[in-house]
Amino acid sequence: MRSFFALHRNVRLRIGLAFVHKLIDAMILTFIAIYLAAHVGVAVAGALILVFAAFAVVGMLVGGHLSERWGRRPVLIIGDVVGTGFLALMAVAYYSGWGALAVYFSYAIVKFGSNLALPANDATIIDVTPPEQRKFVYTVNYWVINLALGTGALLGAFLYSSHFGAVILGGAAGMAFALAVTVALVAETKPETPRPPVKLTGLAQFVQGYKVVLADATFRRLIIAATLILTLEGQLSTAIGIRLSTDFPTQEVVPFGAVTGVEMLGVLKAVNTVLVVAFALVVNSLLKRMPDRTRLYAGITLYAGGFAVLAVTDDAWLLLVAVVVLTVGELMNLPVQQALLAELAPDDGRPRYLAAYYLHIRFGQIVNSILISLSAVVSMAGMAGIYLAFGVVIILQYRAILARRETRVAVSA
């Protein structure tokens, strides 16, 4: 606790507000698909949910560009203003019976605003966090986000049927609170760096900024590694979840009793969330002296290996052991991955780098959808082989990134 309060005020505030934002997101986004399916049909609902991804990509890229041009604080404020206003409009649409599409499009604009602010939020944290504190900061942030997502999903599940409108109103109030805190307490952190003469304007400047980011080969490797890590994470809800729902025989699992495949999937997700919340800070404290290379290689090996086991076994207790193993790997890897992101995103252009990095979420969704189709024709043993191959590719990306880091340090020395 003392280490947390020793952090820069901006960092403490943004981590606290991350809990508010993710809590709202989990309470609404998790159930908006159910709401849409009930009002416009499953097929249309699926297509509308895909539009969220497009809004997210556009919002992040625009937010990264504006954060570099205007500074972090104005973009954070704009994001929260959009979120507050359109969550309020969403509540009005819900209670006034304007229709499901009015509710949906209001929330689509909310998602645009939240993704607009995402690069500025992360840049605000990195700007004022010394390299030696970054693993700790990212571990705390990860812990807070998982706690918020678990709490929000639980609250949303109990309130959706009879109080979904109240959930939306609560989200608007929470976003208004986040806006007030940002306006009153969050300071601008954009580094003062000499700016070259601006020759391009408008769209040309926007495109050129991201061309510079994607020309960075080391940063591209980090995006590839993050994409494959996220793809593995998504397999629990997709290919592995589908296999459990169809092939898993009902078994006794203490203390849950007899569980079906779908219920076993819920148990595995719950165990992962509880372990992250319970042990994230402990694991980071225990491993803070471990070299990054060892921590990354061991963490990815455990992570990919755990998913490979989940792909092939129907034994409930072996599935639980595999989730424990992959969670340990996740906790070993993630803080170092985020610290590398902070290190590779330079002061000049940092929000653009962060916006480009978060495209790995969309890339991961694409690869996940491909693997779902592939799992229909490839055996689960074959899928396990793919997961292990992903692990090898991730380690190779990290190997190249760390080698270039060592070269850069040697040159500086």
Give the SS3 label for residue 257. Answer: strand
What's phi and psi for 252, nearest 5 deg? -80, 125
Which domain range does residue 376 map to?
Answer: 210-412
Q: Could you tell me if residue 31 is inside a domain?
A: yes
> Smallest Cα–Cα separation from 153: which of 22, 26, 21, 25?
26
Give the SS3 label for residue 348. Answer: coil
Run of H or E residues at 251 = strand 251-253
Q: Could you tell me if residue 205 is inside a domain?
A: no
Q: Could you tell me if residue 195 is inside a domain?
A: no
Residues 66 and 120 in one domain: yes
Q: Could you tell me if residue 245 is inside a domain?
A: yes
Identify the segments of the chain with pLDDT beneath 50. 197, 200
Q: Could you tell me if residue 191 is inside a domain?
A: no
Could you say which DSSP state residue 347 is in? S
> Smallest Cα–Cα separation from 399: which of 293, 289, 300, 303?
293
Question: Can you point out the beta strands (E) in 303-362?
Answer: none
Q: Mutual orientation of helices 292-312 and 217-235 as an angle, nearest 10°?
A: 30
Residue for token digits 């997101």? 25
pLDDT of residue 195: 55
Tokens linked to 346: 């330079």
Q: Could you tell me if residue 82 is inside a domain?
A: yes
Residues 318 and 362 in one domain: yes
- Split into its structural domains, the chain has a count of 2
Residues 230 and 351 in one domain: yes
In sequence order, the β-bridge partners of residue 252 are 258
Residues 18 and 126 in one domain: yes
pLDDT of residue 51: 78
Q: Could you tell me if residue 237 is inside a domain?
A: yes
pLDDT digits (tens, 9 = 90+) for 262-307: 788 878 888 888 898 888 888 888 888 889 899 999 999 999 999 9
pLDDT of residue 200: 44
Domain final position from 118, 152, 185: 185
Could you say which DSSP state residue 196 is in? P
Q: Dihedral sign, CA of 66, 70, 71, 77?
A: negative
DSSP class per residue in 69-125: HH-HHHHHHHHHHHHHHHHHHHHHHHHHT--HHHHHHHHHHHHHHHHHHHHHHHHHH
Give the SS3 label for residue 203. Answer: helix
Please enumerate, as own/partner, the contacts of 328-331 that have beta carbons within 8 Å and a separation of 24 or more.
328/283, 328/299, 328/302, 329/298, 329/299, 329/300, 329/301, 329/302, 329/303, 329/304, 329/305, 330/233, 330/276, 330/299, 330/303, 331/139, 331/276, 331/279, 331/280, 331/283, 331/284, 331/299
Residues 74 and 108 in one domain: yes
Residues 166 and 216 in one domain: no
pLDDT of residue 411: 53
Burial category of 6 from C-beta neighbours within 10 Å (exposed 0-12, middle 13-18, buried 19 and up): exposed
CATH of the domain at 43: 1.20.1250.20
Residues 168 and 311 in one domain: no
The rounded distance, in Å, linking the Cα atoms of 275 and 207 is 42
Distances 406 to 133, 302, 304, 402 between C-alpha atoms, Å? 20, 25, 26, 6
Run of H or E residues at 253 = strand 251-253
pLDDT of residue 65: 84
For residues 76 and 182, the answer to whether their CB atoms sit within 8 Å is yes
Helix, strand, coil shares, percent, the chain, to 5 = 85, 0, 15
Q: Mutual orientation of helices 9-40 and 100-127 as an angle, nearest 10°?
A: 160
Residues 348 and 307 in one domain: yes
Q: Could you tell me if residue 201 is inside a domain?
A: no
